[in-house]
Amino acid sequence: MDSVSQPLNDLRAFRDSLYRCFERRADALFELTDALLTAGTVPSPVHLSLAIAHRRGWGSLYAALSRGRIEEGSLRGLFARHTSTTGEASHAPVYAVDVSVWSRCDAEASPERGYYYHPSRHSAGQPIVAGWAYQLIAGLSFERDSWVAPADARRVRPQEDANEVAVAQVKDLLRQQPGTCGVVPLFVFDAGYDPLKLQRGLEGHRAHVLVRLHSNRAFYADPEEAEKRPVGRPRRHGKKFALPDPETWPEPAHEHRCTTEDYGEVCVRAWPGLHPKTRRIAERYGCERAPVVRGTVVLVEVAKLPRETRKPKKLWLWFSGEGEPDLDLLWRSYVRRFDLEHTIRFLKQTLGWITPRVRHPEQADRWTWLVLLAYAQLRLARSCAEDRRLPWERPQRDRRLTPCRTLRGFAALLAAVGTPARAPKPCGRSPGRLRGRLSGRAKRYPALKKAA
């Protein structure tokens, strides 16, 4: 009984704290979150008002998205307390950072839209769509599942840089979750981020950064000390380290080899003390001299892939942080980063993250928080939910339920945990729009392009 009652108590405590994070339209926002967890996949938000957990009318649903108020700082603290990483205690916490696009190509009346890359949708033959971009941070675990622990979500405006927004998010997360016993968290990024901007932005903070590199880049070692100093400016770059040219690679300073079931033989090599040319940084920020940003270049080579659909390629990573890097932790952390991509797909396809066609970005922000809060409750309930599987699905062990299976059995848990939301009060019939009054044509906003 303790193995079931404890997760229920954690879920009940999370829901009680969540209700206190809603300032305006708290009851409608809370029941809207419960409707997300019990109504299943719906074609539009108005169908959520038909769910049993939603005791209010459809008007309160849209009013909560339009005029509700959520204390985001309290929500981030709530995530920090109840959705900590569940990995092994022998290594530092690992977080993944990724950005996802909410496509709103034809929403000309929606402000603050920008042009962003989209992997599946195209416009004029290019993988670019107009919409809103959201950057998520989630804690990773090394268990054999696809669960992550959401920690933060912010909308990246068209005039903002995703790297600078990521730096601000990481700093806020470090304040919410201070390191204990000298453990430094690791933040994993994909190849779309600039490792130099991230490293320079997090200088002075206890955080390690791991970024994937494009395979055509080049780095340089420090110049060797000359016996007789030549005339002119001293050299800043030494021998070249070109990623596509193995002849330029010296002997690695660190090397790690292991064998796994999914990837076969794994070889990880590291070359510390390398730096790229940063002339563009000096031109952009008006510096007299380009800064020298040193880090560790890591090469990961595997014998096979879990699904042998193609030949494995070399994986290049950039690591920045104090001390000697743990190569075994680095390559495993980047592999686990894909759990965040699976979670984003689950949020979009199952929980309906990008289903509403809201007009204002503030409404999209509130809806994004509600979807993340619904996922966080599923994560807390994964060990106590009933496995309601289809006839052709295999039974799973305790604490191994997938997000989809946990969602099927979550409705039965609401009777046990209860709801802090108050019952609705009848308010009579709405007068509606006055006779003869017209709403007029909505103002149009063009999608913004980023300045070069």
Residue 301 maps to a domain: no
Find the mean pLDDT for residues 149-169: 95
**How distant, in Å, are the alpha carbons of 74, 137, 175, 345 from that of 100?**
23, 11, 25, 10
Look at residue 352 and tell me whether its pLDDT is greater than 80.
yes
Look at residue 451 and tell me whether its pLDDT is greater than 70.
no
Look at residue 73 and tell me whether its pLDDT is greater than 70.
yes
Higher confidence at residue 102 or residue 439? 102
Q: Say which residues have a Cβ less than 8 Å from residue 168's Cβ, sequence separation at least 6.
A: 154
Residue 164 maps to a domain: no
Residue 16 maps to a domain: yes
- The beta strand positions in 33-93, using DSSP E, are 69-70
Residue 130 maps to a domain: no
b/e 244-270 (16+ beta carbons within 10 angstroms → b): eeeeeeeebeeebeeeeeebeebbbbb
What's residue 80's pLDDT? 85
pLDDT tens readout for residues 172-229: 999 887 655 578 999 999 999 999 999 999 998 999 999 999 999 999 998 887 666 6
Portion of the chain with pLDDT greater than 90, in percent:
60
What's residue 92's pLDDT? 84
SS3 state at 27 = helix
Residue 442 maps to a domain: no
**What are the contacts of 114-117 at 24+ separation with CB within 8 A?**
114/157, 114/158, 114/447, 114/448, 114/449, 114/450, 115/158, 115/447, 115/448, 115/449, 115/450, 117/192
Residue 58 maps to a domain: yes
Q: What's the number of domains the chain is made of? A: 1
Residue 213 maps to a domain: no
What's residue 228's pLDDT? 65
Look at residue 398 and tell me whether its pLDDT is greater than 70.
no
Residue 167 maps to a domain: no
**Which residues span the domain enclosing 407?**
2-74+357-417
* pTM of the predicted structure, to 2 decimals: 0.91
